[in-house]
Amino acid sequence: MDTVTSPLVRAARSHALGDLPRRTAARWPDKVAVVDGPTSLTFRDLEDLVDRTAAAIADAGLAPGDRLALLAHNCWEYVVLDFATARAGVVLVPVNFMLGPDEIAFILDRSEAVAFVVEDSLVPVADAALAAAGTGSGTGSGTGSGTGSVRHRVAVRRGAGRDGWVDLGDWLGHAPGAPEVLVGDDDPVRMMFTSGTESRPKGALLSSRALMWQYASCALDGGMSVDDVELHTLPMYHCAQLDCFLGTDVWLGATSIVLPSPDPGGVLRAIAEHRVTKFFAPPTVWIGLLRHPDFDSTDLSSLRKGYYGAAAMPVEVLREIQRRLPQVRLWNFYGQTEMAPLATILPPDEQLEFAGSAGRAALNVETRIVDDEDRPVPSGTVGEIVHRSPHATLGYFRDEERTAEAFRGGWFHSGDLGYVDDAGRLYVVDRKKDMIKTGGENVASREVEEAIYTMPGVAEVAVFAVSHPRWIEAVTAVVVPKEGMTLTAEAVVAHARSVLAGYKTPKYVVIAGALPKNPSGKILKRQLRDEHAAIAAGDG
């Protein structure tokens, strides 16, 4: 018998994402796992809910490999669904709750989701998305009926059967005893939609193996432990909050305090009330905390570990954090969705001396810099950042061409430009694909450009990032009107807002007579960034 492929051997060796609540509950059954407002779940409670929900998912007819889309703000039900879908072998598709109906419809179609779980307050936008799904908004298996592939509609905290939505409470209260599903190390359990330079996002598939090796990297290089009490405020549709922090906490047996948003006042109150020891946020949120009038009067003495990512932390802000929170050690996490998402870490003792660095490759990651022919370059030389790691995505769903391009040469190509110093520390200097990161959110410049191009009277447009004192980067557009046409910045912003999510809408619009170009006709965005670098001066 081939013991390697024996189902019994595979079952005994299983260590998949859906196993974690059960294994942690066996170690720490009575320890608090999740706190969400008045709801407090021990690890025993969490395991029971995961088991019941996985059983309900199976009874509803969802098969291993099927996709379940989830549209919700942070809540304890999000945590349950994360692990219950994995236990059932179903692929979870987190959806950004800031997207509009057409953008959500695209994700439903592209992912070929068969189930859609939606927070009660978001049901109206979900209904609009379902009406659009399968009617040309994407490339999924929609039939044109306006329902796409979605067969199950489930609402969080909503009466059963009302408006065609089943109550998630029915799943949470299902009889225990989920069927055993053998989920392989490299079976997909998550589809995270990433914003690239393309006008539409891609579905990056992540496996249990990718997520769990990533948990190990986060815990060991990020100084995490079972004693942590962590505050989760960034959206769980982002793999940074969901996987660098929440998943790692469940794996370790740490306690997670869940808030629906990173409102600075709410964050400060939660740290004091729950004696929070650990907190992650992009620089914009850290800045918001420091500027809040209650910062100095709030008891933050329990906080010991701080993490940031999505953008470089300004040196002056680093100094201010160290001055006003001297007991807090800081880590910088750099990565991207396709790396589950961690790639490199800058540790606490290097924060000021090497400010601006993304640090060294994490424990289970190998990082190098290559030229346009994918040849390694010497330290100090700018090139594309590439990685080898079990963290890496399985590829893009139904997109072999882009998967092959991303993994050419046996390395995952990040699309970011950077260099390493002689000690192996990474510095990210530009985004090869013109990604804008505003307030911790990814915005593809081309998507914004294409939206503005649909406005009558637009001849040319270039979208890029400028530095912003609050948002770190702000979406900025320079628009050239067609000959004989008159455009205003206000009209361009209004048009963009009508077709894009709010955070993708340009914060600044400049009407110009022409765009700078090189002899081959390529728009010189670097020149535009330099020309308009001060446009956000004075804004905060």
* Structural domains of the chain, ranges and CATH numbers in brackets: 37-183 (3.40.50.980), 206-431 (3.40.50.12780), 435-531 (3.30.300.30)
Q: What is the mean pLDDT of residues 486-507?
A: 95
Q: Work out whether strand 458-468 and strand 472-481 pair parallel, antiparallel, or are unpaired.
A: antiparallel
Q: pLDDT tens digits for 149-171? A: 999 999 998 765 567 899 999 99
For residue 444, pLDDT beyond 80: no
Using CA atoms of 71, 73, 75, 78 in order, give the dihedral in degrees to the nearest 10: 30
By percentage, how much of the chain surpasses pLDDT 90? 75
Of 151, 20, 179, 8, nearest in space to 88 by CA: 179
Single-letter amino acid, residue 124: P
Residue 242: beta bridge partners? Answer: none
Q: Would you say 142 and 134 are in contact if contact means Cβ atoms under 8 Å apart?
A: yes
> Can you tell me the distance from the alpha carbon of 403 to that of 338, in angstroms, rounded to the nearest whole number?
11
Using CA atoms of 225, 228, 231, 234 in order, give the dihedral in degrees to the nearest 10: 0
Angle of the 43-59 helix axis to the 76-87 helix axis, nearest 10: 60
Q: pLDDT tens digits for 36-62? A: 999 999 999 999 999 999 999 999 999
Q: Can you read off the two tokens belonging to residue 397?
A: 């769903």
DSSP string, 25-76: HHH-TTSEEEEETTEEEEHHHHHHHHHHHHHHHHHTTPPTT-EEEEE--S-H
Q: What is the mean pLDDT of residues 67-76?
A: 98
Q: Can you read off the two tokens belonging to residue 175?
A: 């009889």
Confidence at residue 483, expressed as pLDDT on a 0 to 100 scale: 84
Q: Can you read off the two tokens belonging to residue 472?
A: 């770190």
Average pLDDT, the chain: 91
Of 228, 315, 316, nearest in space to 280 by CA: 228
> Can you tell me the distance from the alpha carbon of 464 to that of 508, in angstroms, rounded to the nearest whole number?
10
For residue 104, pLDDT beyond 90: yes
For residue 138, pLDDT beyond 50: no
Q: Can you read off the two tokens belonging to residue 261?
A: 């948003």
Q: pLDDT tens digits for 281-296? A: 988 789 889 989 999 9
Confidence at residue 144, expressed as pLDDT on a 0 to 100 scale: 38
Confidence at residue 375, expressed as pLDDT on a 0 to 100 scale: 96
Confidence at residue 525, expressed as pLDDT on a 0 to 100 scale: 86
> Can you tell me the distance from the alpha carbon of 137 to that of 134, in angstroms, rounded to the nearest whole number?
6
Q: What is the mean pLDDT of residues 121-138?
A: 82
How distant, in Å, are the alpha carbons of 14, 178, 206, 239, 436 from that of 210?
14, 24, 6, 12, 26
Q: pLDDT tens digits for 358-368? A: 999 999 999 99
Confidence at residue 312, expressed as pLDDT on a 0 to 100 scale: 73
Q: pLDDT tens digits for 202-236? A: 999 999 999 999 999 999 999 999 999 999 999 99
Confidence at residue 518, expressed as pLDDT on a 0 to 100 scale: 59
Whether cis (ω within 30° of 0) applies to the bond prior to 469 is no
What is the C-alpha R_g of the chain?
23
Q: What is the mean pLDDT of residues 312-321?
A: 86
Q: What is the mean pLDDT of residues 413-417?
A: 90
The set of residues, in sequence order, having a beta carbon less than 8 Å from that of 425 and lying 6+ positions away, is 346, 350, 354, 357, 358, 359, 360
- pTM equals 0.84
